[in-house]
């Protein structure tokens, strides 16, 4: 059985929950896998810590909560402080490299991948698509889902009229991740 536990962390307003929903939809609808999604956020609408936790599996999922993420996707320093201790010993850490400072020992002990997601989103002209840049980066690094499944999920998940912008952001993160893997 191939099961992957994923946690995405950041602060409210970064699109953390939407990123989780896109990954979950990509898994279930476009790759015929099983997925669970739980979410957590503070009482404030923006600025407080939030997270999306997903389990993606080839078989039915009996327990829907992430216990030790195999993949940790982080978009803020606070998310790093809060969620890094939960990471699986052999896990991968994907992070917004311009917003998070990792201690050298973390880079030595874990498989880490950084992306300037905010800057890439700003280059497109909309900082708000940072989450789609991270989703593309996640797709390239993780191999959990195919890029085509994610593209289809994005088209189905984002507001009408924003598909082109969101897919462009996804492609920026995806190509950045592929270059790191080469």
How many independent structural domains does the chain possess?
A: 1
Asked if 151 and 167 count as a contact pair (C-beta separation under 8 A), the reply is yes
Q: What is the pLDDT of residue 42?
A: 67
Instruction: Say which range, 37-41, 51-55, 56-60, has the weakest mean pLDDT.
Output: 37-41
- Structure confidence at residue 46 as a pLDDT band (50, 70, 90): low
Q: What's 133's domain CATH number?
A: 3.40.920.10
pLDDT of residue 44 exceeding 70: no
pLDDT of residue 17 exceeding 90: yes
Domain span at 134:
3-181
Per-range mean pLDDT, top range of 40-49, 102-111, 146-155: 146-155
Q: What is the pLDDT of residue 90?
A: 87
Q: What is the pLDDT of residues 62-81, one digit of tens each?
A: 999 999 999 999 999 999 99
């Amino acid at each position: 059985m191939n099961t992957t536990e994923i946690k995405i962390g950041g602060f409210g307003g970064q699109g953390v929950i939407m990123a989780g929903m896109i990954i979950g939809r990509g898994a279930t609808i476009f790759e015929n896998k099983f997925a669970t999604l739980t979410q957590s956020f503070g009482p404030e609408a923006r600025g407080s810590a939030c997270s999306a936790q997903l389990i993606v599996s080839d078989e039915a999922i009996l327990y829907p909560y992430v216990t030790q993420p195999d993949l940790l996707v982080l978009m803020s320093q606070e998310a790093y402080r809060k969620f890094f201790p939960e990471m699986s010993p052999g896990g991968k850490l994907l992070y917004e490299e311009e917003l998070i400072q990792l201690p050298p020992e973390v880079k030595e002990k874990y498989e880490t991948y950084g992306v300037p997601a905010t800057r890439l989103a700003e280059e497109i002209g909309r900082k708000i698509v940072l989450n789609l840049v991270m989703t593309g980066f996640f797709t390239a690094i993780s191999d959990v889902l195919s890029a085509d499944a994610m593209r289809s999920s994005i088209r189905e998940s984002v507001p009408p009229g924003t598909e082109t912008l969101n897919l462009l952001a996804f492609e920026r993160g995806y190509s950045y991740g592929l270059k790191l893997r080469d």
